[in-house]
Amino acid sequence: MNSFRNIVLIGFMGTGKTTVGKVLAEELDREFIDTDDYIELWVGMSIKNIFEKKGEAEFRKLEAELCKKFANPASKIISTGGGMIRNAQNMNLLKQGGKVFYLKSTPERIAYNLRYDTTRPLLAVEDKEAKIRQLLAERTPLYQKYADYTIDTENKTVREMAEKIIELSGVRK
Ligand code: S3P
């Protein structure tokens, strides 16, 4: 039964959703979908360019389309963009099809992980850490609301996080 439910990763930018998702997919021999990568391939533009040329609202529409596409219970590993939780319909669909794991991290750690990053349009501001704090404060209640399980990423390796998720999901290797 559990094998036919997606494993969905949510959390702020820079918390390791994509990296952990890839390890999970490898360990469990499942298909991996990263919603940002999928959208980039689909539109043929980087996320940064989509935000610049089409606007954030258009990007959010594409995210919503993807959720409809991948909502059915299946055995995929789905890593979502950090803002996916802003749309209740997206999260209701994703929750119908799988178990949701929230990768939780501190603003300091996120700022450190993203210190050289230039691919996140929402963080292309002068004071990146202040923006991270602001967005994280706004979004944390939503991450918590939709999470079936919370994974504290502090002091954990990617493999340890993946093992914890496998254990909690009840999926057998
Ligand atoms: C966003 C997070 C990004 C990407 C886009 C917007 C957000 O994904 O979807 O830049 O609103 O938090 P990651 O969480 O994979 O960085």
Residues 128 and 109: their CA atoms lie apart, in Å, by 12
Q: Is the pLDDT of residue 172 over 50?
A: yes
What is the amino acid identity at position 40? Answer: E
Atom of ligand 1 nearest to the CA of 35: 9
Determine whether the shortest distance from the Cβ of 147 to ligand 1 is under 6 A: no
Least confident of 3-7, 158-162, 166-170: 3-7
Place of tokens 């994280």: 136
Structural domains of the chain, with CATH: 6-169 (3.40.50.300)
Determine whether the shortest distance from the Cβ of 13 to ligand 1 is under 6 A: yes
pLDDT digits (tens, 9 = 90+) for 68-112: 998 888 899 999 999 999 999 999 999 999 999 999 999 999 999
CA of residue 82 to ligand 1 center, whole Å: 4
Eight-class DSSP state of 2: G
Phi, psi dihedral angles at 6 (to 5 degrees): -70, 155
Tell me the pLDDT of the chain averaged across its residues.
95
**Mutation choice for ligand 1 from 61, 122, 139, CB with most ligand atoms inside 8 A:** 122
CA distance between the termini of the chain: 14
Atom of ligand 1 nearest to the CA of 14: 16
Torsion 92-81-148-109 (CA) sign: negative
- Give the mean pLDDT of 112-120: 97
Q: Is the pLDDT of residue 2 over 60?
A: no
Residues 59 and 5: their CA atoms lie apart, in Å, by 26
Task: State residue 173's pLDDT score.
Answer: 74
Q: What is the pTM of this model?
A: 0.97
pLDDT digits (tens, 9 = 90+) for 100-114: 999 999 999 999 999
CA of residue 8 to ligand 1 center, whole Å: 15
